[in-house]
Structure 1
Amino acid sequence: MTKDQLIQSFDPNGPGINGNLFGLPFTPETSDLVIVPVPWEVTVSYHTGTALGPAAVLDASSQVDVYVKNIPDAWKLGVSLSKIPENLLEESKLLRELAAQHIKRVESGEALLANDPLIGKINEATESLNIYVKSATQRYLRDAKMVGLLGGDHSTPLGFLRALSEKYNRFGILQIDAHADLRKAYEGFTYSHASIMYNALKIPAVTKLVQVGIRDFCEEEQDVITQSNGRVTTFFDDDLKDWRYRGETWDSLCNSIIKELPQHVYISFDIDGLDPKLCPGTGTPVAGGLEFQEAVYLIKKVAQAGKKIIGFDLSEVAPGTTDWDANVGARLLYNLCNWMAVSQGKLKTT
């Protein structure tokens, strides 16, 4: 069936289609926006579980009502999740066991060894992942589709950023996160989840990094921010809270954040940027953070400011002991999809 035929035959008020993202009737072929799942968490340094995030979000997404008050035709956009690559999940499990052995040694005080074959093996495997992600996302970009990525840990979108750099010669990253992720080769891993923004800044097309909600970082990362000559602007969580306590509104703070962004914007959303009551199962939860509606308001303001959201990732959603994390993640994912489409003129607001 064509996309129009699918829209005509689907009842958005009834139960959704089991196994489809948000219960919608679309496939990657009939969608305007495709989510690429990357079930990978090899280098996580605390709790595991994020590799199960894509499947958990998919399951929870059936509980999301697809009607949006200010975007009444949102569900008609056509959003789908490409097939979850089970081979990546299995490879991640095997490599994670090796990485955990290495991390345990490092945390017991052993020095990192030069040319450690275990580190070399994992770095090689994660670079192969970057190549896979670049190819998988590039495929849909070449078909003129909007693309988002669903991790996995926060290392997963690097290949996507590389793909976007071949389509856009200049863009900025809006990072919502508890962590700065500016460590160089954390624990010896070149492509650590704690190094995603350090690696992103190696891409010449990334002209600006704007970080929001950061509240757990090291001196090395502070030095990267300080020495970036304005390429990195960080809105630390404690500063945001201080400004709010002194009477500034979230709207005015969002305006200050958006002022730092260029015209083309990629949103990198680590779910631990939210208050951990919203994501208790995530790998590295940190007290503080944004409320759900504060995060959505910022994303909405980016679109309303006339910025073009060229892509996004949602990472670090771990199922935990309940489906709460995945439920929050699914609702956040739907908002990212909708406001990206608004920013590109694919959906209209009322």
Structure 2
Amino acid sequence: MEIPSAYPFFLASENPGNAPENCLFHVIPVPWEASVSYGGGTAKGPSAILKASEQLERFDGVDEPARLGIWTHPPVACESGPAKVLSRIASACQGLLAQYHIPVLLGGEHTVTLGGLMAAKERFGEIGVVQIDAHADLRDSYEGNPYSHACVMRRALDMGHQVFQVGIRALSSEEADFREAFPVRHLDAAALALSGIPDRLLPEDFPERIWLTIDVDGLDPSIMPATGTPVPGGLSWYQTLDVIAKAVSGRKIAGFDLVELAPIEGLHHADFLAAHLAYQTMGLIGRLSRLP
């Protein structure tokens, strides 16, 4: 299927275009925006990331993650209700997981993640979800919608997955109570700022196989202003990379997503940061995780 020109191949300028069966990473754009509650624009995120990726260097500072193969798929159709869109995302991921590829979902709003987690549950059973985010996303329903971006981690828990949260600094009192009662383990932004990132990030009993979900508002708005609900006090660039490195080290990676970029016209650095972060994450997975 031909990919629309608004969705170029990831790292097209530096990627020789390996056959899809030989590519470890399979990028799936999901321009879905149905429940954003403050600033909008996430539907434009995947296209902006892919276009910005054309400006990346193939060498990431350590090696060339592209040597593992990066394939880009056409965007998922998002013109339906949540059940159908999530089914399409899950279907796109299921075949890849069965062939030992790693899906890379580019959102779109954070609800995109649920499609990947549905596919992972079907393939692997219960896994661990490592969430980088400003928000807990643990509401049972928001504005009457259980599939709101504010409910993503609650739905992940409903699937039986375990969740570990990093960088949280905005949550309701109900979410705070639920998080302690469930419990949902976490390293919030304030604790991270005061005490740093521990050598062992994830609990000893956390699942070996994980899905990494990166909401770009987990980063500080000083470096990532292009998101619907920016919250001060977020992760720096190198803190984010350290968290990802410690999360994936020695673990099996079901997939990862990068969501909630809402591009601002003329502000290129945020789009580039998102593309750079996706590529750096591929590099860290390639070097540190247990590959299929």
Question: Common fold, TM-score beyond 0.5?
Answer: yes
Report the residue type matching 1:38 in the other structure: V
Aligned to 2:172: 218
- Give the one of 180, 184, 189 matched to 1:237: 189
Aligned to 1:162: 118
CA offsets 1:62-120 (integer angstroms, 9 cap, x no match): 111111333x24221111221124x42xx37xxxxxxxxxxxxxxxxxxxxxxxxxxxx
User: Are positions 1:190 and 2:142 aligned together?
Assistant: no
Distance 1:211 1:66 in 2: 30
Corresponding residue pairs, total = 281
Report the residue type matching 1:76 in the other structure: R
User: Are positions 1:69 and 2:79 aligned together?
Assistant: no
Q: Which has the higher helix share?
A: 1
1:19 shift after superposition? 3.0
Distance 2:237 2:204 in 1: 22
Report the residue type matching 2:269 in the other structure: W
- 5+ residue gaps in structure 2? 1-6
Distance 1:259 1:63 in 2: 39
User: Are positions 1:330 and 2:275 aligned together?
Assistant: yes
Structure 1 residues 260 and 219: CA distance shift in structure 2, 3 A? farther
User: Are positions 1:265 and 2:210 aligned together?
Assistant: yes
Aligned to 1:291: 236
**Structure-1-length-normalised TM-score:** 0.76
1:127 shift after superposition? 1.3
Q: Larger Cα Rg: Structure 1 or Structure 2?
A: 1
- Give the one of 26, 36, 50 matched to 2:28: 36
1:178 shift after superposition? 0.1
Counterparts in 2 of 1:116-195, with a 5 A limit? 125-195=81-151
Where 2:143 maps in the other structure, the secondary structure is: helix
RMSD between superposed Cα atoms in Å: 1.9
CA offsets 1:251-276 (integer angstroms, 9 cap, x no match): xx252445463211111110000011
Distance 2:150 2:112 in 1: 11
**Structure-2-length-normalised TM-score:** 0.90
| Deviant stretches of 4+, over 6 Å | none
- 5+ residue gaps in structure 1? 1-17, 93-124, 245-249
CA offsets 1:97-146 (integer angstroms, 9 cap, x no match): xxxxxxxxxxxxxxxxxxxxxxxxxxxx1111111111111122223211
Where 2:151 maps in the other structure, the secondary structure is: helix
CA offsets 1:9-29 (integer angstroms, 9 cap, x no match): xxxxxxxxx932112122644
Kept in 1: contact 2:64–2:283 (CA 8 A):
no
Structure 1 residues 161 and 221: CA distance shift in structure 2, 3 A? same
Kept in 1: contact 2:97–2:254 (CA 8 A):
no
Kept in 1: contact 2:201–2:243 (CA 8 A):
no
User: Are positions 1:57 and 2:49 aligned together?
Assistant: yes
